[in-house]
């Protein structure tokens, strides 16, 4: 039988029963006060949860193309149900860009919020032997979050250099491309200038790409196993350079190993009160293309497609781990790629099966064209981002630094995150105009530049700046215009060069590019120095006064 609330209340609380019968007004006042105070307590609890900075899991794939994810390329033939689910549960960006079309400079930009061409690395990538690129005194996303109470971890492919101990300090022994370059490394000694020196409490990974020797894991500065053999493979998909290899390093198991370690890390840190930041930098689906036996042949296309499906499955396992631990609501999961897909994926075989890994965009990894640097970018954060959101804002992977600073309410100094803009306004449906990026700089493997403002993209080179036609210093570009201008709103495939039609846009964008170079930043603030300044500054200054006749 149903009784009014006050009947139960009076039955279980004699004092209140007496008040109810003799002083009904006082009784109802006390009840109302209890309800109000309880509500206030609950409201404060909700606000406390909402204000706690989120856990951050940043998953960076290697050489994964814009068209390799089904939600970005519905006509694609590689199935990625788990990454698609991540997009459906969060926010998918359609116009996201890596700051470079190759590995090392993009990773520099992600961790520092600064374009790599401002560092000593003006083109190309580092090797597995290269010295550390990021100085210890430069703020990184990890050091910023660490100082703000986060536990920080790096797991995966580093490719930003660290300092191996040399047996003979007077003989460096080569740059790291050949097997003999590693004869002088003392693999029994701890490395120097490691990820731990750049803000990571925990660091586990290998030095370069999975096809770059040496093949050893380093955990918190220590090599995890004895180097006891030399390995090399020369298969069509499984190629890697000859080099020293540790007893616990099996190429086929590297990607699964990194995912397993990451999930264990998430499980451990979920038990603690402090938020965590996990930078999971995958070596896949970059060469060597090594799906495990369980996944080999599953796509019915080629090993690259198999590898993609395996990667997708592991992303699903990370998502499930977060869900099962009950930390999903306030955990931000970001999935993206360091550049466009590589031709090593075997474009001919993929095309024959109806799959375009670069999603219809021109070019691929290494190029200044969109296929070189337009990448998938997906963010899931239930506490802040509603499901099934799509943003067409032009963003850069350098934006992680300012976003992290915004999350922990830290104001970046003038020499921090010089090319980083917070994405938080884009996450909030009430504030879509608060994202302050005015323009974005793109960079190719040979150091060619492009600048994008609105729909206009100006390329400061006659060709691709990379590996697709027209290849610099290889294909004949003498009859091509010096620069290229494209309107991406009507020509996303970059087919019609408008450089002769709009000299005023060429001048405007060139001046903006000059200011970004000479000011040492693209964000507001005091001018900074590019270190060291090895660009041809005179050419940029002369370009301020370009005319149609000069462009040819």
Token pair belonging to 444? 């190719």
pLDDT digit string (tens) for the chain, length 552 residues: 333 433 333 333 444 444 444 555 555 555 555 544 555 544 433 334 446 899 999 999 999 999 999 999 999 999 999 999 999 999 999 999 999 999 999 999 999 999 999 999 999 999 999 999 999 999 999 999 999 999 999 999 999 999 999 999 888 789 999 999 999 999 999 999 999 999 999 999 999 999 999 999 999 999 999 999 999 999 999 999 999 999 999 999 999 999 999 999 999 999 999 999 999 999 999 999 999 999 999 999 999 999 999 999 999 999 999 999 999 999 999 999 999 999 999 999 999 999 999 999 999 999 999 999 999 999 999 999 999 999 999 999 999 999 999 999 999 999 999 999 999 999 987 777 889 999 999 999 999 999 999 999 999 999 999 999 999 988 878 789 999 999 999 999 999 999 999 999 999 999 999 999 999 999 999 999 998 743 343 333 333 333 333 333
Closest CA relative to residue 397, chosen from 468, 340, 458, 327 = 340
Q: Which burial class, exposed, middle or buried, applies to 474 when counting CB atoms under 10 A from its CB (0-12, 13-18, 19+)?
A: exposed
Q: Which helix (H) or strand (E) holds 91?
A: strand 91-97
d(CA 401, CA 421): 8
Closest CA relative to residue 446, chosen from 129, 64, 100, 118 = 100
Token pair belonging to 251? 């190429």
Pair 86, 352: CB distance under 8 Å: no
Q: What is the dihedral of CA 235, 237, 238, 239, to 10 degrees?
A: 70
First and final CA of the chain: distance in angstroms? 91
Crossing angle (nearest 10°) for helices 14-22 and 24-51: 130
Q: Which helix (H) or strand (E) holds 484?
A: strand 484-487
The dihedral through the CA atoms of 450, 451, 456, 458 has a sign that is: negative
Residue 278 CA, distance from chain mean position: 12
Count of alpha carbons within 13 angstroms of residue 201, beta-carbon side: 17
Q: Which helix (H) or strand (E) holds 61?
A: strand 55-61
**Per-residue DSSP letter, 163:** B
Q: What are residue 458's phi and psi, to 5 degrees?
A: -110, 120
Q: Which helix (H) or strand (E) holds 46?
A: helix 24-51
């Amino acid at each position: 039988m149903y009784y009014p609330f006050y009947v139960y209340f009076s039955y279980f609380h004699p004092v209140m029963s007496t008040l109810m019968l003799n002083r009904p007004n006082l009784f109802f006042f006390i009840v109302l006060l209890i309800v109000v105070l309880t509500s206030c307590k609950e409201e404060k609890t909700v606000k406390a949860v909402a204000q706690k900075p989120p856990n951050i899991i940043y998953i960076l794939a290697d050489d994964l193309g814009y068209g390799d994810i089904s939600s970005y390329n519905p006509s694609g033939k590689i199935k990625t149900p788990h990454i698609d689910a991540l997009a459906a549960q969060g926010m998918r960006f359609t116009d996201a860009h890596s700051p470079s079309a190759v590995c090392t400079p993009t990773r520099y930009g992600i961790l520092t919020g600064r374009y790599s061409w401002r560092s000593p690395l003006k083109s190309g990538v580092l090797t597995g032997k290269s010295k550390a690129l990021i100085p210890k005194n430069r703020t990184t996303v990890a050091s910023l979050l660490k100082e703000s109470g986060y536990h920080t971890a790096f797991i995966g492919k580093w490719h930003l250099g660290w300092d191996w101990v040399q047996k003979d300090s007077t003989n460096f022994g080569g740059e790291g491309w050949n097997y003999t370059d590693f004869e002088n490394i003392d693999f029994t000694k701890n490395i120097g200038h490691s990820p731990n020196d750049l803000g990571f409490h925990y660091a586990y990974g290998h030095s370069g790409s999975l096809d770059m020797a040496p093949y050893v894991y380093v955990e918190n500065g220590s090599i995890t196993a004895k180097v006891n053999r030399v390995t090399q493979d020369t298969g069509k998909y499984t190629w890697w350079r000859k080099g020293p290899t540790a007893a616990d390093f099996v190429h086929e198991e590297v990607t699964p190993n990194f995912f397993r370690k990451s999930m264990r890390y998430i499980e451990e840190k979920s038990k603690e009160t402090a938020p965590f930041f996990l930078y999971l930098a995958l070596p896949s689906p970059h060469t060597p293309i090594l799906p495990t036996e369980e996944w080999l042949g599953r796509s019915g296309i080629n090993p690259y497609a198999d590898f993609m499906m395996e990667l997708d499955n592991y992303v699903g396992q990370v998502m499930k781990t977060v869900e099962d631990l009950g930390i999903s609501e306030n955990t931000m999961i970001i999935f993206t790629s360091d550049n466009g897909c590589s031709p090593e994926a075997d474009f001919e075989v993929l095309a024959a099966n109806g799959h375009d890994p670069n999603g219809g965009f021109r070019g691929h990894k290494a190029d200044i064209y969109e296929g070189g640097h337009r990448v998938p970018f997906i963010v899931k954060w239930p506490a802040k981002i509603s499901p099934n959101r799509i943003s067409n804002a032009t963003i850069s992977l350098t934006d992680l630094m300012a976003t992290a600073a915004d999350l922990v309410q830290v104001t970046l100094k003038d020499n921090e995150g010089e090319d980083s803009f917070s994405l938080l306004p884009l996450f909030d449906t009430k504030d879509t105009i608060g994202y302050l990026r005015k323009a974005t700089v793109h960079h190719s493997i040979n150091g060619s530049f492009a600048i994008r403002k609105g729909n206009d993209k100006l390329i400061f080179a006659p060709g691709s700046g990379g590996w697709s036609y027209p290849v610099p210093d290889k294909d004949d570009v003498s009859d091509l215009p010096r620069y290229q201008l494209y309107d991406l709103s009507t020509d996303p495939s970059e087919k019609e060069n408008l450089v002769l039609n709009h000299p005023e846009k060429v001048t405007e964008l060139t001046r903006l590019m000059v200011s970004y170079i000479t000011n040492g930043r693209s964000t507001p603030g005091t001018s900074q120095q590019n270190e060291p300044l090895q660009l041809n500054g005179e050419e940029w200054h002369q370009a301020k006064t370009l005319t149609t006749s000069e462009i040819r």
